[in-house]
Amino acid sequence: MEISTERVGLKKQISLFDCVTILVGTMIGAGIFVSPVGILLYVRSMGMSYVLWALCGFYSAFCAACFAELGATLPISGGEYMYIYRAFGDFAAFLCLWTYMFNYCTAYAALCLIFSTYILQPLYKDCDEIPQVLLRLISALVYSK
């Protein structure tokens, strides 16, 4: 029996379109269409909701400036994972990676639910609520794409 010296690896299965949609969904997200309702529901003030949006924008800009500085200081590929790996070691970087993978999966599931809600709303505009079975079925179909 002959032993193969071929290198085993994962097959690349992501297309350019898939990559662009993941990046756009991550950066912009569908929460921008849903979160204003939640903010206005609890704050009950248009002015205060603008203040909250401004504070969140400032926080995001501050985080982006921190990552820009890290990227300029440590010009290595891998992003946050590599920064945590260099600063805190293997275990912290591993936990960071798995946390992000879990968050991306749940965020993608939430995006599928939001997408199916927006697709079904015109069909059920006279109803109080969209049937949950149909909402979940379309979400599962989009998720399993």
Enumerate the domain spans of the chain: 18-59
Task: Give the E-state strand segments of 30-126 in sequence order.
Answer: none
Model pTM above 0.75: no
| DSSP codes joined into one string, 48-98 | HHHHHHHHHHHHHHHHHHHHHHHHHHS--TTTHHHHHHHHH-HHHHHHHHH
DSSP label at residue 100: H
Work out whether the CA dihedral 40, 45, 51, 55 comes out positive or negative. Answer: negative
Cα-Cα-Cα-Cα torsion 103, 105, 111, 112, nearest 10 degrees, comes to -160
DSSP code, position 34: H
Asked whether the predicted pLDDT for residue 63 surpasses 70, the reply is yes
Residue with tokens 């924008």: 57
For the record, the structure tokens of 54 come out as 């401004």
How confident is the model over 112-124, as pLDDT tens digits? 888 888 889 888 8
pLDDT in tens, 21-31: 777 776 666 66
